[in-house]
Amino acid sequence: MDLRPYANYLRAGSAMIAGLAIGLLATVLSLNAGYGFNSLRAGPWAAWPHIGGADIDPYARAVISRSGEAPLGRDQGLAFIARADSDGAALDGECAYRIVDPMPAARFWTIALASPDGRLVANPTERYGYSSVDVLRKENGAFEIDVAREARPGNWLSPGQAQGFVVMLRLYDTPLDIESNPDPNSFPKIVKLGCA
């Protein structure tokens, strides 16, 4: 059968199909890459303050309506997420980490573990995070939070049997400037202690 008279139709058809596939792929990739533009970064921590306001960009709206989350309002505080330790290696449930001072100014802060898709991490202690009020501090006010599967003295968060997890740092009523990247040295460090 001679297809030559229909060559242009075939080409148009494949251009359509290929365009559809590439376009949807670009959408999936861009929605998995974070919450759109204008992120704040400080060491391993990243926040997207604009998702909490009326000027949220279309990418961020698409991301949060797909994941089903209700972000923190911009006038309430900032939620930072860390997917890696301070050396840039992805957080791994097999490893032990220590989260140490300092902390940016805020009326309250909380540090909690979450699964990469935002669920609580099941663990035997049933403790999912610490707040600025209930964290145990040293004499000078400094604190350390250990993240490890085995029990630790002091502040201890367990990732349970999770392989991958993220650390959420939420600052409530914070005077932090959201127009420029904050000083990474004013944010907690996530130090890897070792891996099983």
Regarding 168 and contact with another protein (CB under 8 A), the answer is yes
Regarding 79 and contact with another protein (CB under 8 A), the answer is yes
Nearer CB in complex with another protein: 1/133: 133
Using the contact rule CB under 8 A, the part of the chain among 13-21, 92-100, 148-156, 176-184 near another protein is 13-21
Q: Cα 66 to chain center, whole Å? A: 16
Strand order in the sheet with 40-42: 40-42, 45-47, 77-82, 166-172, 108-114, 129-131
Q: Which tokens is 175 given?
A: 């005077």
Regarding 175 and contact with another protein (CB under 8 A), the answer is no
Regarding 105 and contact with another protein (CB under 8 A), the answer is no
Regarding 9 and contact with another protein (CB under 8 A), the answer is no
Regarding 12 and contact with another protein (CB under 8 A), the answer is yes
Residue pair 1/32 in contact (Cβ under 8 Å)? The answer is no
Regarding 46 and contact with another protein (CB under 8 A), the answer is no
Query: 110 pairs with which residues across the strands?
Result: 131, 170
Residue pair 130/145 in contact (Cβ under 8 Å)? The answer is yes
CB of 73 to another protein, least distance (A): 2
**Overall size of the chain counted in residues:** 196
H or E segment to which residue 26 belongs: helix 7-31
| Interface residue list for another protein (CB under 8 A) | 11-12, 14-16, 18-24, 26-27, 30-31, 52-54, 56, 58-62, 64-77, 79, 107-108, 110, 112, 114, 117-122, 127-129, 131, 133-134, 168, 170, 172-173
